[in-house]
């Protein structure tokens, strides 16, 4: 029985480690995809698209292993909250990967036009901000740190401000011709993708708070599905 419990905790630890690894993969996609966009590097954009399958496969494998663990071990209380948190967190992370695929596709659509220096600066900051928020959320998950998780929710304003500025720069300025307008639309879409990555990072942090404390403090309902 003691041996079984030890194996059970090993399995739970592996699932957590796999989740952290998934988060690291997503973080690499954010960095690579942002660089591809800034450099108009189609090869790097292609890599981001190709690597997304890895994130999807790992997500699915974790999901199956969580259910196997549930079927075999019937976890309760804190351990049940941990496996439930894993199930939500992996989907939030997987979505970040999908959004970076969208950024990579926008990189292709924008090619070969280059970004206005002001736009470039904003996207650089949004990419860094999205990467930071995601990394901190995964760290909070890994450490079971509710305080860090709570701090993360406040970081979201930075991204919202960056996105509003980007919108103002590209959409409200008007466009001299149809091609410029189409580029502006792609850049606006990219801004949305980064903002949503930040949202997913916030959702991860809400899950971490629930995992650690068993409550969603200050939340009217569970974070969206």
Task: Give residue 174's region: left, alpha or beta (phi > 0; psi -120 to 50).
Answer: left
Q: Which of 24, 42, 70, 128 binds a copy of itself (CB under 8 A)?
A: 70
* Angstrom distance (rounded) from CA 161 to CA 167: 10
Sign, CA torsion 125/42/183/195? negative
Q: Which of 28, 39, 41, 63 binds a copy of itself (CB under 8 A)?
A: 63
**Pair of tokens at residue 224:** 């969206």
Q: Which of 41, 120, 188, 213 binds a copy of itself (CB under 8 A)?
A: 188
- Which residues, numbered 86-145, are part of the site for a copy of itself (CB under 8 A)? 87, 91
For residues 127 and 194, is the Cβ–Cβ distance under 8 A? yes
User: Is residue 83 near a copy of itself by the rule CB under 8 A?
Assistant: no
Q: Which of 80, 165, 192, 213 binds a copy of itself (CB under 8 A)?
A: 192
* 223 Cβ contact partners less than 8 Å away, ≥ 6 residues apart: 88, 203, 206, 207, 216
- Which residues, numbered 8-47, are part of the site for a copy of itself (CB under 8 A)? none
User: Is residue 176 near a copy of itself by the rule CB under 8 A?
Assistant: no
Query: What element of type H or E holds 8?
Result: helix 2-39
Catalog residues that contact a copy of itself under the rule CB under 8 A.
63-64, 67-68, 70-72, 74, 87, 91, 167, 170-172, 174-175, 181, 184-185, 188-189, 192, 195-196, 198-200, 202-203, 206, 218-221, 223-225
């Amino acid at each position: 029985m003691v041996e079984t419990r030890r194996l059970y905790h090993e399995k739970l630890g592996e699932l957590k480690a796999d989740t952290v690894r998934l988060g690291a993969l997503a973080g690499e996609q954010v960095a690579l995809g942002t660089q591809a966009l800034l450099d108009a590097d189609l090869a790097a954009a292609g890599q981001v698209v190709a690597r997304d399958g890895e994130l999807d496969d790992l997500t699915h494998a974790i999901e199956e292993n969580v259910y196997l663990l549930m079927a075999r071990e019937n976890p309760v209380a804190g351990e049940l909250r941990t496996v439930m948190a894993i199930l939500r967190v992996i989907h939030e992370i997987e979505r970040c990967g999908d959004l970076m695929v969208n950024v990579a596709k926008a990189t292709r659509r924008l090619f070969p036009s280059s970004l206005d220096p002001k736009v470039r600066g904003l996207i650089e900051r949004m990419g860094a901000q999205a990467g930071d928020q995601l990394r901190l959320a995964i760290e909070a998950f890994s450490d079971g740190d509710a305080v860090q998780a709570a701090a993360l929710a406040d970081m979201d304003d930075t991204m919202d401000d960056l996105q509003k500025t980007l919108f103002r720069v590209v959409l409200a300025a008007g466009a001299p011709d149809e091609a410029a307008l189409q580029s502006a639309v792609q850049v606006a879409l990219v801004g949305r993708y980064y903002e949503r990555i930040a949202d997913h990072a916030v959702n991860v942090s809400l899950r971490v708070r629930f995992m650690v404390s068993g409550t969603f403090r200050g939340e009217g309902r569970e974070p969206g599905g």
